[in-house]
Amino acid sequence: MKARTINARRLIAAYGLGEDKLGALAGYCDKQGIILRGVEPYEADFPVGFLCGFAGFAPGAGCTEPPKDECLIFSGFDRRALSEAVDGLKAAGVKVALKAVCTPSNQPWKLSDLIKELTREHKYMTGGGSK
């Protein structure tokens, strides 16, 4: 199980970003030595673990109704590096409301389900809805 928990390479999986944000994110990742994995709408039903490059996960069926929200998934970051990356992305003009860390618990989730949960949590935390 530990092999699925730790990913030595830092990776950001980006879903739903427009060209400008994706370009700014790519520039930031290049400077920081972070792998950028653009996630296409048809991949929204793929497991998070697959999208972040973990072994043991297969691509899912193509998504017919992809989410419209933007989302970033961070993999291989410790707390300090994650905090630095989030701050660096803000400074680079990459503001994305929905963010997650790839964990053993969410690796089997479909990205679309993770986005639904992140959206629900974001609404609750910002006063836009009930939990």
What pLDDT does 54 receive? 95
Q: Which fold has domain 2-125?
A: Macrophage Migration Inhibitory Factor (3.30.429)
For residue 3, is pLDDT > 80?
no
What pLDDT does 99 receive? 97
Would you state the structure tokens that stand for residue 69, as one six-digit string?
A: 């929200």
Q: What are phi and psi of 15, to 5 degrees?
A: -120, 135
pTM of the predicted model, to two decimals?
A: 0.89
Looking at the chain, how many residues does it have?
131
Instruction: Supply the DSSP symbol for 12.
Output: E
Q: What would the pLDDT profile of 21-64 be if each residue is shown by its tens digit? A: 999 999 999 999 999 999 999 999 999 999 999 999 999 888 88
What pLDDT does 104 receive? 95
The domain limits of the chain are 2-125
